[in-house]
Structure 1
Amino acid sequence: MHLSLYGNFYYPIIPLEVITLINYLSYFIVGFLAADLYLEYKDQIKPSIWIDVVCIASVILFWNGFRPYGIDLIYLLLILTITGSSIYLKKFLSIPLVYIIGGMYYTIYMLHQRVMYMVLDKFMQGKIFMENVFADFTLRLVFILIVIGVISAIFFIFVERPTMKKEWWKYRNLKKLFFE
């Protein structure tokens, strides 16, 4: 930020920052590279516990923000390329509840903040349910996760999933539109 003199007053000049997809092009390229590497070498990589260790370490380092010199791209490349050859991580990602929630991620992302505001601010504001702060926090967390999950599932089933079907507007049978 720069200061500029106008008359007897200094006012800040804030440069306009434009964020575009070009700013994130490297992530797209890493995704394409990871898909290419996985398809090329998936039969040559033998499943191993070490692949689980590398994937979990990469997720933890990426999540915690340890990203000097663009190393986050390497974390992503490792995660996306070798997770398919992991042992336990692959089993975890094959659990129906996990991949269903993964499929609903955009719905959850869109709704979670509004649901939290509505539920916590309107219905739980100023109320203490337990004397222990950690127990109270845990109760609220479990409650809000259940509410977010239920509302997101309803939204996903009745709004997002039907619109993913080809020519969804032509369906006359609502049972087929929503539940098949």
Structure 2
Amino acid sequence: MKKEYLDNLKPLEEKYKIEFDYDSDPNEILFSFIDEDDFDYQSINFGRLIEYTEFEYDKIDDYTIKTRNIFQIQVSLDENLVNPEILFNIIFYAENYNVQLVDCPFLIGLYNSEHHCYNRDYDIYPAQNRYAFEIKYLTDTFENDQLSIVKRVLYYINCKFDIKLNLEPLDKPGEYGFIVF
């Protein structure tokens, strides 16, 4: 199945300017948005990549990109945060979903790549140096307001760790101009 699915990624490579490294670990795939620095390959679990790409994504508000049962809500991290890695290990569990902070959010990277929300000259990339809370629903029953869920998580983290995380609006299409390669 992996070979068959990898063949289906070819159109994604062209549409979203993604480069995949198929020779990596059989359970992991390395990817980079082509306009990002050459050394900035990110690792993604093969199963997770399927979840992200088997359905088209939608922008549902100024902060959120979704696909079938996964929502990514963009946030900004406190610039003074010394050790942000601790935040990536925190997972909030609810009855039918879980919430986790992710680095280089793949769905937001797809949106930014497709809509030219990047500019290499200003170090603004589709996924690099971006963060999102990812809500993954375990059933087909979704909460009505994902922003409310994330706001509760933001409040908890901001109070518990005495840091400042904020909702960060998605960039507007073409905001940084088109990049010519």
Q: Per the shorter chain, which TM-score range?
A: under 0.3
TM-score for the superposition, normalised by structure 2: 0.22
What is the TM-score normalised by the length of structure 1?
A: 0.22
User: Higher helix share goes to which structure?
Assistant: 1
Point out which structure has higher relative CO (alpha carbons under 8 A, 6+ apart): 2
